[in-house]
Structure 1
Amino acid sequence: MNLIKAVQMYIDKMIEEAGVGMKILLMDRETTSIISMAFSQTEMLQKEVYLFERIDSGRSNERLKYLKCIVFIRPTRENILRLSNELKSPKYGSYFIYFSNIIPRTDIKALAECDESESVREVKEVYADFLSINANLFSINIPTCLHALNWQSDALDRSVSGIIGVLLSLKIRPTIRYKIGSQVAQTLAKRVFDTINKESSLFSFRPPENGIPPPLLLILDRCDDPITPLLTQWTYQAMVHQLLTIKNNRVDLSNVAGVPSELKEVVLSAEQDDFYAKNLFSNYGEIATTIRDLIESFQKRAKEQKKIETIADMKNFVETYPQFKKMSGTVNKHLVLISELSMKIGKRSLLELSELEQDMVCKPDHSAQLQKIKKLVSEERINVEDALRLILMYSMRYERHANCGTVGLLNSLKERNGRTHLVPKMLEYISQSARSELFNTVKITDAVKLTRNLIKGLKGIENVYTQHVCVLKELLEEIFKGRPIDQQYPFINSSEVPYRRPPTEIIVFIVGGATYEEALAVHQLNQLGYRVILGGTTIHNSETFLEEVIAATNGAPFKHSRSLQAFHNASNA
């Protein structure tokens, strides 16, 4: 159940089948991202892939008949037309064509008719149709998937293809459950179920033996947990995404003052960066300490590099210089990242804000929490978007409280030109089940009982900032304990009989996007011996999640509840 290895296996197979010799890789926008997240350009060059082109952008007309062309594209109508034109007038000596998912036979026939020069050597389906972010985390890379709280048709089609790709790449035919009450989760579950049955020959894997239940595909809805994407994050990967944004394993640092040109954009890949792989789930205090240790190790290595007195020293220098250079790049990259994170945390008072966030979502104390939020929202030192996050969490937490103060908070936010319209939109977005269940199920971890002791120096994080337990983690723990979930998460196939034993493998897909906090929860469960993979239409930070909420609620009928109407009037006054 390693998604990165699955994608790498497919790519290696494509290159191997093309044989020895110089090769060009012809991709589309999406497959370019899929490949770049599995292999670096240097690694591709080592595999004799020397040129990279996009089939969906401007290309040279130069004919290079000595090159073998490996085509890796999604089986879309546009790509089929582009490839047909390519084959009518081939630029390269031979073509090895691989589609990232199931392709209709009619399209294969159309391509064959265009190949008059008989330059095509191979046509196959591979199922690398998703972005493999971590070994157990994937994304379909759809920034917004809903409109009027229903599927956008192209986003639904893409999500079905992505999930089918994951299942086929892992050789899994699962049972499928979905969150009851979520029309979008049920629709997706039905489409995936129908596709599996239609392509039954592709899914004819050997079933589990000895009464072991088949793997479970669990389809959830972001509307059932809109709190998790809004919280300040304190593990390395999640912090970088929250404060700097990770896009296709890359972080744009071009706006950071004093950053050298070679670090204007940095790659964060667990496959290409051992330090990142070991520390992506480390918390803020741990990563700061580890960075310090890395710097000290580098300084020691640098002193050793300066000692060149004998022939043996020179030989050692030549042999170890590539590793030294790589270590230098790693140190510089992560030092820049952690320095920028620390600066933003201090400038935006995120330690103070996070403590209040965690307090608010984990335990009811309306009066004290409202007074703290009022104070912070009105202060100029508090970033207006962070103030908005506090109000959003408060409005969902205390929407039905007799003394709900959301209207007053909106008025304060409006004085700072904050996006007040997002509060009623969020209350449209949150599901009815989340309204009744979300804050009753969130647990306060034992960390709250610990004596508060702010770690000074490089260790600038407390356990009090990680009290929140995401809904997904609690749900997975319930499933693995064998507790019944049929009423809330029914099978899409009504004839499916629940097994007495819990599944040993679970693939979770969240419509509306997953988060790195949920990826951490999955990682922690996998560390205990479970086998879970998490995916979503995208991977959110708070900013991208709010964009999702705006897109999802556009066109949705306004619900004229008394509290919602009051918030709506306040935000539009």
Structure 2
Amino acid sequence: MSSGSGSGLSSTSNNYRNFKEVTRHRLLHEMLRSCKTGNSKSTWKVLIMDEFTIKIMSYACTLLDTTNEGVLLLERIDKERQRFASMDAIYFIRPSKENVRFFLSDMSGSAPLYRKAFVFFTSPISKDLVGQIKGDGSLTSRISALSEMNLEYYAIDSQGFVTNNERALAQLYGDEDDSREAEACLSEMAARVATVFASLREFPIVRYRAANRIDATMETTFRDLIPTKLAAAVWDCLMHYKRTIPNFPQIETCELLILDRSVDQIAPIIHEWTYDALCHDLLDMEGNKYVHEVASINGGLPDKKDVLLEERDPVWLELRDHHLGFALEWLNSKLSNLKQNKAAQFENSRDGQCPELSSRELKELTEALPQYVELKEKLSLHIEIASKLNRIVRNLELPFLSELEQGLVFGDARIKEVIMFLRIHGPYITREHKLRLLMILAAIYPEKFEDEEDLHMMMKYAYLLPQDMTVVRNMKLIGESREGSSGIFPLKFGIAKRKCYRKERPREDEWLYSRFFPMIEELIEKLSNGALSEELYPCVNPNARLLRSRRTPMWAHRRNSENGLSRDASTDFEKMGRRIFVVIVGGATRSELRVCRKLTAKLKREVILGSSSLDDPATFVTNLKMITADDQPLTLDDIQI
């Protein structure tokens, strides 16, 4: 059985592709297109996937992409399907017992569902399951390919992926007496993170947030060891790939930093004012899907249309990382310019004709009309969204709340300002937004939430119920620091005398409420510059020489999409250095993803963010509320690297 790992697409390759482009290329070319050769006689094929791999494909490719590669039908392996005895089938599935059982049911016996089968597993398959497949004699002539793609993640962004461990926060930080569920979660996450490096054909220097003052005589909690244990598990997977995948790098080609949510408790809950963050925070969206209301042709109720806010939308790509104020100004400017367009004048003319146009101008106008209509629709969509966001932030009094939040983070505000704010604005602010304010306060002044009298006072001023305070109490579980700590955590609990929780950084713009920055920005810059503490962020690789050069002179070519627009800002560089990967256990945020895009341009190194999930504030609050505390003592003997 063959094992796939990419096609010379590492950051040291001359044919540079960004992270998502590599994923798309592997799925379309290495998997689907490879089935067009050999003994495959049928032109059209059926692509059969499970629930997990359907999402892998949907994040990286479009339906048109798969159709262009000869796929006629998309099917779920666990659903009843029609027999197509004259067609070949492509199976892209996880190597689970259930999926292998479905596959054997499809293709064995005297009446298989399909003529031939090309089988691609997302990750290494066990010898027992391979034995089950090879043990069925009727399959020998029906299997045209049996391969491990080593691709088991969702490429949610050109520079971001998730492993789909959405319950990681509860599983890893909870109080289960039996840690088997937590160990299983880490094992699954490690295997999926490792497939990222198999796909990109990268071999990383693996660094991780060290356990707090760990030594052979000191007990520590499972939570404190999460980055250590994940780093060890990822390393084991990489060693397997190093032995089994042809042409897998034998020396380090990139850097990987493994963190958990303790490095920054504030980022998931503070109110961000970028267009992307506000859309997912304040609008009723399902993933990236937004319901757009358009005027009805018949003059009745507006028609509803589902649209995706994603990188294929050039207006979204332009605005997503900018402040809402910038987005409103930019959209108004573009709309004014559009009205001056000849196509707009032609559209708005009474009789639909422009007699003053020459034949050449009329030809140019006709060619420009489709682009004009598309741009007009995009601008109309985003003007509606930006205007709605502007109304919401004012109705919810978020400017006052954001000013207080950032004041707390940077030491301009204290508890008395919070109490005064709640007295004045508390009745008018939603329960969720007040909870987030108190969670920020709990991260900065945890001692104020240990005393029942203080807790009752906060609850009273915030008009909250006792059960609401569970999530506030649980903040300590994702940022716990021991007395006498040497400073492992950039943000530490138990430092009440600190004048400011976070130091100011130079601001790139003067928009209001844009002072906050996620902590990974500072960590990534230090990692890139060789200034990240080796004591606090040690390395797994034995005898590894840390990559201290800011960049390496590797040439990269700009790659354009089919419509001539750049697929991602990172491909605008003529030179790109070694990739940097950051993996956060317990959920990443859109602000952290934005930082990775920003630092890619600044450092000339593609920065890729991975996590168990990408959480909006409401989701993070819900996940955190599910955690309960019961530390499980562990020692160094429990960890093997």
- Taking structure 2 as the reference length, the TM-score comes to 0.75
1:59 to 80, 84, 93: 80
Mapping for residues 17-416 of structure 1, pairs under 5 Å:
17-19=34-36, 21-56=43-78, 58-60=79-81, 62-88=82-108, 89-114=111-136, 116=138, 118-145=141-168, 146-147=170-171, 149=173, 152-181=182-211, 182-202=224-244, 205-207=248-250, 214-244=253-283, 249-251=288-290, 261-263=303-305, 265-270=306-311, 272-296=312-336, 299=339, 300=341, 301-304=343-346, 306-307=352-353, 322-324=370-372, 326-366=374-414, 368-376=416-424, 378-379=426-427, 381-400=428-447, 406-415=455-464
Instruction: Tell me how far 1:470 sits from its aligned partner.
Output: 1.6
Instruction: Tell me how far 1:175 sits from its aligned partner.
Output: 1.9
The AA in structure 1 aligned to 2:314 is: D
Residues in 1 aligned to 2:464 and 2:173: alpha-carbon distance in whole angstroms:
30
Instruction: Tell me how far 1:23 sits from its aligned partner.
Output: 2.4
Q: In the superposition, relative to structure 1, how do residues 445 and 198 fare at CA in structure 2: closer, same or farther (>3 Å)?
A: closer
Q: Deviations over 1:333-385 (max 9, x none)?
A: 32343233223212212122111111111115325523443325632x21111
Query: Is 2:472 aligned against 1:419?
Result: no
Alignment check: 8 A CA contact 2:288 2:309 kept: yes
Q: In the superposition, relative to structure 1, how do residues 409 and 555 fare at CA in structure 2: closer, same or farther (>3 Å)?
A: closer
Residues in 1 aligned to 2:386 and 2:158: alpha-carbon distance in whole angstroms:
24
The residue number in structure 1 matching 2:569 is none
Point out the more displaced range, 423-432 or 539-548: 423-432
The AA in structure 2 aligned to 1:43 is: D
Q: In the superposition, relative to structure 1, how do residues 315 and 112 fare at CA in structure 2: closer, same or farther (>3 Å)?
A: farther
The 3-state SS of whatever aligns with 1:514 is: coil
What is the aligned length?
A: 534
What percent of counterpart residues are identical? 22
Gapped regions of structure 2 (runs ≥ 5): 1-10, 12-17, 37-41, 175-180, 212-223, 294-299, 482-488, 551-577, 634-641
Q: Deviations over 1:444-492 (max 9, x none)?
A: 23449x9xxxxxxxxxxx6341111221111112222222512211123
The AA in structure 2 aligned to 1:543 is: A
The residue number in structure 1 matching 2:533 is 485
What is the RMSD of the two structures over their aligned residues, measured on CA atoms? 3.4
Instruction: Tell me how far 1:8 sits from its aligned partner.
Output: 0.9
Point out the more displaced range, 514-523 or 145-154: 145-154
The residue number in structure 1 matching 2:592 is 518
Query: Is 2:601 aligned against 1:527?
Result: yes
Residues in 1 aligned to 2:448 and 2:182: alpha-carbon distance in whole angstroms:
35
The AA in structure 2 aligned to 1:169 is: S
Residues in 1 aligned to 2:526 and 2:278: alpha-carbon distance in whole angstroms:
28
Alignment check: 8 A CA contact 1:363 1:444 kept: no
Residues in 1 aligned to 2:99 and 2:365: alpha-carbon distance in whole angstroms:
49
The 3-state SS of whatever aligns with 1:53 is: strand
- Flag the structure with higher helix content: 1
Alignment check: 8 A CA contact 1:3 1:138 kept: no
Alignment check: 8 A CA contact 1:90 1:119 kept: no
The AA in structure 2 aligned to 1:196 is: L
Gapped regions of structure 1 (runs ≥ 5): 451-461, 560-573
The residue number in structure 2 matching 1:443 is 503
Instruction: Tell me how far 1:109 sits from its aligned partner.
Output: 3.3
Alignment check: 8 A CA contact 2:242 2:249 kept: no
Residues in 1 aligned to 2:46 and 2:599: alpha-carbon distance in whole angstroms:
41
Q: Deviations over 1:376-407 (max 9, x none)?
A: 5632x211110111111112212246999544
Instruction: Tell me how far 1:15 sits from its aligned partner.
Output: 2.1
Instruction: Tell me how far 1:277 sits from its aligned partner.
Output: 2.2
Alignment check: 8 A CA contact 1:143 1:537 kept: yes
Residues in 2 aligned to 1:376 and 1:542: alpha-carbon distance in whole angstroms:
24
The 3-state SS of whatever aligns with 1:37 is: helix
Query: Is 2:46 aligned against 1:3?
Result: no
Point out the more displaced range, 410-419 or 507-516: 410-419
The AA in structure 2 aligned to 1:165 is: T
Instruction: Tell me how far 1:115 sits from its aligned partner.
Output: 6.7
The AA in structure 2 aligned to 1:15 is: L
Point out the more displaced range, 45-54 or 323-332: 323-332
Alignment check: 8 A CA contact 1:244 1:252 kept: no
- Taking structure 1 as the reference length, the TM-score comes to 0.83
Alignment check: 8 A CA contact 1:144 1:547 kept: no
The 3-state SS of whatever aligns with 2:530 is: coil
Alignment check: 8 A CA contact 1:377 1:412 kept: no
Instruction: Tell me how far 1:314 sits from its aligned partner.
Output: 8.6
Instruction: Tell me how far 1:221 sits from its aligned partner.
Output: 0.8
Residues in 1 aligned to 2:377 and 2:143: alpha-carbon distance in whole angstroms:
42
Mapping for residues 417-566 of structure 1, pairs under 5 Å:
419-432=468-481, 433=489, 434-435=492-493, 442-447=502-507, 463-493=511-541, 495-499=542-546, 501=548, 504-528=578-602, 529-551=604-626, 553-554=627-628, 556=630
Alignment check: 8 A CA contact 1:481 1:502 kept: yes
Residues in 2 aligned to 1:44 and 1:480: alpha-carbon distance in whole angstroms:
38
Alignment check: 8 A CA contact 1:377 1:413 kept: no
